[in-house]
Amino acid sequence: MGFHTTEELLKETKALCVKNVQMCWILTYFKLSEPICGSNQVTYNGECHLCSEILFEDRTIIKVHDGPCETSSD
């Protein structure tokens, strides 16, 4: 397994979001999402919310980990 550059990770994330966008619209009505942490240290209400930011707000972020982001202000 090779290492990915940040640019490659951003492209892969955006491609997955485009692929799954229709499923996200359906899932938001039927399933609660678990929080995830974005590379901008913002907690999103699931991968669909993160994808919405990437696709519709043109943000350059990726998922860092499952669960909320840890901040020093908490």
Per-residue pLDDT, averaged over 29-33, amounts to 70
Predicted TM-score of the model (pTM):
0.70
Sequence ranges of the domains in the chain = 6-65
Number of Cβ within a 10 Å radius of residue 58: 8
On the question of pLDDT at 66 being above 70, the answer is yes
CATH class of segment(s) 6-65: alpha beta
Distances from the Cα of 20 to the Cα of 23, 27, 28, 71, angstroms: 5, 10, 12, 29
Question: How many degrees, rounded to 5, is the angle at CA 59 between CA 45 and CA 27?
Answer: 35
- Quick check: 12 pLDDT over 90? no
Question: Is it the case that residue 69 has pLDDT exceeding 90?
Answer: yes
Q: Is the pLDDT of residue 74 over 50?
A: no
